[in-house]
Structure 1
């Protein structure tokens, strides 16, 4: 078979989509080792990509200029208010479309287009292009932004017309998938799709990364190190977790003597967190690291790794951290809303707690710490959900339009 993978993000650090898209290509190669796999990488800037690590037959990188001309910006001030369409967005989409239009899609059996970020430029660039009839579109996040759980964006007429355009693209595509079961369910109905939305979970494959850089790792100072590496956005709540940890330290000196909590954060509200929890001596709130250093800290120094899902009521996306942690058998505490993607995946409920319940978080965290005090054994909170076998099964269903587990 011949595969074409069109991607917008293959960065090795600072982005969840870059990590999972690289891993997707690696798992595709493992699943179909004798197939031809070509990739077209359309980015908007020059970045650190290490494309040499990707197991593809060919890869071509295109840098598109997304700087919008002055006159387009000028007319857009009036145009979007009158017609509820952004000339600025359409201009950017056209820059991606110019590359896609030149591809000879007819020589491939299957074509994948993978979205990146919340603007979905790559997918929107394919509107009315003939390549769609052979394309499997993969959604990393919901679109438009007002449908992203935890988003503060209000629905508007502009959002409605964005939704309408995406509905047209979905109708033109061969099929669609997303990384989460709940998101596939939601988008299938949101876009009024007449075709099934499949689920292909995020993957992690160490072979497409260089993890040799350990220069910025923080030395472990306590017997048990708890860590969270990531962003604070879309309703992710870490305050209740920190309150729970603070109470543990106050209730029993053994936790103060034997545990530490390291936060590697980006996003809004970090300074407020530092001020609010400055009295916790065992807590460090630091800047994020590059992927190699961050990975090594979590793999080698962290005893318990925190996962924050979006909230506060519902999370229909799969966080990219989950398959990474599954690959290394790390104990996790997933702080989640009552209805979420990981609640459908995690096989042992001791690894998941309600983000709105401080007492439950404290009990689950205490139990994980107590167990880690006496055992360093690997654990498998996610079962075989991120295994090579499950990836192969789910991909086979997508390629062959199967409705069940045949």
Structure 2
């Protein structure tokens, strides 16, 4: 007789969130860093005691005893908690499968997606290389689901595709929902349309939203995106007349990196690409990451703070890339080349109401300076706009930003 209550057979990582594995790694690494600081401080203390006449041998004996006991305690904590988290990680798929059968799978909440995106920003390269299920796989998303890049998948998720596409690429630690962060109105009202929905209504573009692991190197994401776009256009239900790409912050760098890879590999989609629009992208690097790099170096200069330096240095490759912007990623010391037939448009913001206020050269939009966002010194068809009274995240949904985007797209397509 069939047992309908049996837990279904699971594939590796099926129903496994990956949080226990990530928590185990984070806990064990933090414990190791604390132990290193403890040993360094204790070592200095015992060294000072050995300098006192007559206390050299007793101090050495006390230090050896201390090190043995402390080492055992830290090992017990590290392995004990790590073992418990390993067991929890192993049990999780069976528990989830018993409570929520596979047939009832629903897309995760925006909070869950946001938490996962933030974790990918911090340690996404580690999640990727350790095959953790939390590592985000690049894809085009709608309604919380990835769109299968097949004719059937496109028709099911995009019922009225046009021959003009507009791809939106989010920034560090964000996801496709970030384009609607300010779109909600009062409770009970329908949310305001985002840039993509408005461009669909007013100019006939089909909007597509990318989700990707922002902790990976920008060049790696650029290469992945170049291949994804090539595949997308190959299965699109009609010939694509025009592709526009809009990237916020890191997303603008990923878009430009994808364009460079497409040019190097001779990928056909670059010929349909008319515009790449970057909103607050740190083309010349982000000041915050530059400061973080200096702090990390300073922490490594003393034995006591070196463990803290190791923690700071564990931030993802994606974050570290922001120190340079798009420069020095593929060819250190050189600015990226211009893309043939692709116009570049840059929008930078100033916290001050006056877009040209000197504050913009120091703080810019709070994360990216005006000089980095709007003056990458590139040849070719390049135009920049500066807007005042905006912070970095406001660029995602703001009327003045949309009007500028619409104007560029309408002018480029000769649409009145």
Q: If the length of structure 2 is used for normalisation, what is the TM-score?
A: 0.33
Q: If the length of structure 1 is used for normalisation, what is the TM-score?
A: 0.34
Higher strand share: 1
Higher helix share: 2
